[in-house]
Amino acid sequence: MRGRHRFLLLVIGGLLWNVCSGCGNPYPGTPRNEESNPHPLNATSEDFVLSEDGEAVSADIVTGADEEIHVLYTEGQDANTVTYRLSTNRGRTWGPGVNLTETSEPTSIGAIRLLRDSNGLMYAFWKSLPDNAAKAGEPEGTWPGVLTCRVLQGNFWSKPFSIGPSSPSALYSWFACTDPQGRVHVVWNQSHPITGTAGARFTGTILQAELEGTTVSIPKTLRQFPPPGQESGYTAVRYSGLHGYVNAHGIAHWVAQRQQSCASPATGGCKSGQEIVYWNGTNEMVLSDLAEAVKFSPQLLVDAHGSDHVITTGQQGSKPCLLDILPGLQEEPIPALILPITQGGLRGFQVAQGAKGEMAVLAEAEDASQGRLSFQYNLYAGSFDGANWSKTANVTDAASRLLSDQATSNSTDPVTVLSARHAIGAFDASGETLYLLLIADATGVNLNEQNHSEVHITTSGSGAGGSLIFRPFHIKLP
């Protein structure tokens, strides 16, 4: 039986918070009335419920000055409300949610992003989709939409404004980031018309713009594929899963999947197929040919030495893993994260990038134990120390939690077990602590039933999904 989705904010690293006594509100436009742990969902006293209304689909997290943690997430009917919340003491208490979509026309919300620039301004991005069915293609960007932004500037959030093409059928995948100077950039791919090629569909134009508050620079074209004048023979070119960063010189690096189809017979150098492509700031290279589109798009990280790392899925013996590819080097990919499972499945993976080259990888995969937890997915994490990837850490560890509760509980009530769906991470300024937002199903396992059957855990709230809660979790990063 399917459980409700829940958001969990996990803190990875040392216990670094202090209560901010008498602090003023750094964001007067955001109500400050902070709550303290109103509705813990299970026996863990450190849980903090951020939302009981929403369906856990998209989320993002940013660390700010001093002890600030900023989060952005979707909730409400069909997860089409974008909500912002702020904590000024490392998540111990939180201000109330601010609905950023209340002034917008009703829309379907896809991928979202939250950034903080060098001046302390907060930028909330979301992609509006044609309908809820299109969410299945996010964040790969297989459906077009409109990219919207609001900026927390002074005392209030700005009015929503669009970035890139205003046509809802033009913008596909995208990423937003800050460069080392704290400037905000957005990179996206969009469709473009091809003269004289009837029925052709091309989304290979990739552009970049810089934001300073609500001012958006004139977009510059980074790449157009096929190049102008060389479109003959192509019937479709689709880029998806665009992901990357912008360096100190304002130059974007990115990785994506590219699919191209050719007329029959193929002419003009067209080659049908699916590829992983990488852009090093000036040129595009093909990293690998694919038999078909991969389910989880590759992600791009950069280390403290300025070397790029493309993270993608792979296999290490009989076990699934995340592979680290160094573009342009004649080296075999190395495992960044080896999962302990030999059967079951990988539900997804994500990456976290620190400002000083810190890197972490996250993956949701089926529990390695047998029997009663075979339907559960744990969150696994690994980090890069500048030379090597760490051993895989089991962040949620449902089996250990269950065994611990079984040994201490005399209750017939089921024990809550968390099944990870998706995670987003952000390093703090020191690079020594990684904060996570975890989207998970919360289900119950009755410890006193012989077959350890799964039972449904209900929560209050009118939404179709579950809750967003805060929980500190501590591991040591290299």
Confidence of residue 477 (pLDDT cuts 50, 70, 90): low
99: left (phi over 0), alpha (psi -120 to 50) or beta: beta
pLDDT tens for each residue of 310-350:
999 998 888 899 999 999 887 889 999 999 876 667 889 99
Reported as a pLDDT band with limits 50, 70 and 90, residue 16 is very low
DSSP for 136-166 reads: GGTTTT-S-BEEEEEEEETTEEPPPEEES--
Q: Measured between alpha carbons, how far is 117 from 119 in angstroms, rounded to an integer? A: 5
How far from 376 is each of 1, 251, 417, 421, 445, CA to CA, in Å? 12, 41, 8, 10, 11
pLDDT digits (tens, 9 = 90+) for 43-86: 344 566 666 554 667 889 999 878 899 999 988 778 888 999 99
Distance, in Å, from the CA atom of 131 to the CA atom of 110, rounded to the nearest integer, reads 10
Q: What is the pLDDT of residue 267?
A: 62
pLDDT for 138: 85
Tokens of 282: 């000036």
Provide, rounded to the nearest whole percent, the portion of the chain with pLDDT above 70.
Answer: 71
Q: Is the pLDDT of residue 437 over 90?
A: no
Instruction: Give the CATH architecture of domain 4-472.
Output: 7 Propeller (2.130)
β-partners of residue 262 are 234
One-letter amino acid at 357 equals G
CA–CA dist 182, 262 (Å, integer): 42
Spatial separation of the C-alpha atoms in residues 186 and 171, rounded to whole Å = 12
Amino acid 161: pLDDT: 95
pLDDT band at 162 (very low <50, low <70, confident <90, very high): very high
Please give the pLDDT value at position 460: 34
- Backbone dihedral region of 37: left (phi > 0), alpha (psi from -120 to 50 degrees) or beta? left
Work out the number of other CB atoms within 10 angstroms of the CB of residue 33.
9
Residue type, 2: R
pTM: 0.86
Q: What confidence category does residue 38 fall into, taking pLDDT thresholds of 50, 70 and 90?
A: very low
C-alpha closest to that of 124 among 109, 139, 113: 113
